[in-house]
């Protein structure tokens, strides 16, 4: 009788222990989701989404249905078929934006304005499931389904399918962009990827962000293992890595190792000395690097200019180059003039050094 009582007590104890462990693991998983996918930050992000109309950009508000029944909100901003300048041709590039882990696509629009108005590319931005006005609940598996759904939609879009894609991912968005580019349907359609402050994996980032959770990192279910996935990206897709040297969330070493792990035949790594995790995008030379890279992503691309007058691909003789260099108060080269000699392109010291020995602006990158 005593033996049976002891057995019953042990069984009850085991049941309680199992329940406790299950609740603990469930709690850890919920904490992961809150940390990785804060979709309601800032407050109201799940109910109010700005539109491109706020920035004077024509657009289509698209709903994309995923194979598992979720509905994704997307904005597609297409350049007009004919420009007032008869010499200009419709762009052959589309920038697809992959947002960070907070906010919604309305928060990406100030950047979309630069891409659309100044660089004059088509722009696509979409909300992952559980973000903005998209339905569902965010998860790695679900967002990967979203990426495939957007890719298939763009391949069938009457205008976008005739262009080449440049993927632009920031932080978590970089991981999604890498996965997008690794899909078989992306081959021949994606020509370049711009990654800003992207991590190797969530598992490897946990100890960097919350050191107390280091012993529990093995319980991580939202892995986003870009360190492995980037090796699956075709080598003919060009890569630009933009890294904030003072990033306090994603260690710059993560970004650099992704660069090293990639198989891309053409790739660039640019460190922004004063860049933190959330302000790298506003650092000097960020958009110079971006535009110079994007212009290299399709050999068919026409010479195009931003509102600042940057003309990538303008051939210069050494004499012309010398004439187009301007010194600042300290006698250092800070800018190069456009081919029509009307506007200046700001250059970093590093760029200026390179510019002194080149004969083509496109080589400044």
Spatial contact of 364 and 351, defined as CB atoms under 8 Å apart: yes
CA-CA distance, 303 to 238, in Å (whole number)?
19
Rounded CA gap, 347 and 334, in Å?
Answer: 5
Burial of 278 (0-12, 13-18, 19+ CB in 10 A): middle
DSSP 311: B
Give the closest residue to 79 by CA, choosing from 24, 132, 49, 119. 119
Of 299, 285, 213, 203, give the one whose Cα is nearest residue 243.
285
Only one residue has tokens 């509102």, namely: 307
Active centre residues (catalytic): 171, 247, 277
Neighbouring CB atoms inside 10 A of 239's CB total 25
Alpha carbons within 13 A on the beta-carbon side of 51? 8
Order of strands, edge to edge, in the sheet holding 190-196?
60-65, 71-77, 122-126, 93-98, 164-170, 190-196, 238-244, 267-272
């Amino acid at each position: 009788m005593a033996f049976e009582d002891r057995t019953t007590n042990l069984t009850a104890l085991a049941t309680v222990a199992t329940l406790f462990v299950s609740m603990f693991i469930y709690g850890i998983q919920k904490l992961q989701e809150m940390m990785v996918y804060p979709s309601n930050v800032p407050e109201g992000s799940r109910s109010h989404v700005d539109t491109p109309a706020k920035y004077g950009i024509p657009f289509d508000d698209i709903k994309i249905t995923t194979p598992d029944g979720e509905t994704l909100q997307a904005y597609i901003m297409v350049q007009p078929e004919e420009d007032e300048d008869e010499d200009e041709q419709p762009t052959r590039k589309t920038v697809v934006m992959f947002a960070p882990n907070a906010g919604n696509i309305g928060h990406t629009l100030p950047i979309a304005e630069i891409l659309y108005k100044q660089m004059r590319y088509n722009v696509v931005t979409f909300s992952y499931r559980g973000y903005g006005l998209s339905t569902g609940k965010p998860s790695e598996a679900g967002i990967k389904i979203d990426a495939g759904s957007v890719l298939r939609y763009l391949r069938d879009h009457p205008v976008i399918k005739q262009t080449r894609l440049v993927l632009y991912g920031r932080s978590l968005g970089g991981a999604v962009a890498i996965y997008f580019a690794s899909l078989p349907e992306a081959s021949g359609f994606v020509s370049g990827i711009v990654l800003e402050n992207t991590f190797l994996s969530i598992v490897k980032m946990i100890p960097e962000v919350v050191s107390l959770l280091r012993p529990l990192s093995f319980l991580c279910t939202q892995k986003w293992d870009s360190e492995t996935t980037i090796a699956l990206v075709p080598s003919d897709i060009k890569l630009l890595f933009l890294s904030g040297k003072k990033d306090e969330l994603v260690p710059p070493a993560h970004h650099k190792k992704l660069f090293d792990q990639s198989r891309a035949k053409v790739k660039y790594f640019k460190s922004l000395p004063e860049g933190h995790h959330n302000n790298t995008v506003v650092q000097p030379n960020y958009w110079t690097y971006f535009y110079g890279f994007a212009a290299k992503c399709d050999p068919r691309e026409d010479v195009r200019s931003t509102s600042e007058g940057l003309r990538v691909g303008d051939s210069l003789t050494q004499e012309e180059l010398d004439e187009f260099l301007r010194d600042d108060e300290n006698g250092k080269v800070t800018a190069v003039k456009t081919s029509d000699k009307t506007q200046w392109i700001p250059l970093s010291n590093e760029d200026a050094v390179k510019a002194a020995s080149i004969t083509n602006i496109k080589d400044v990158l």
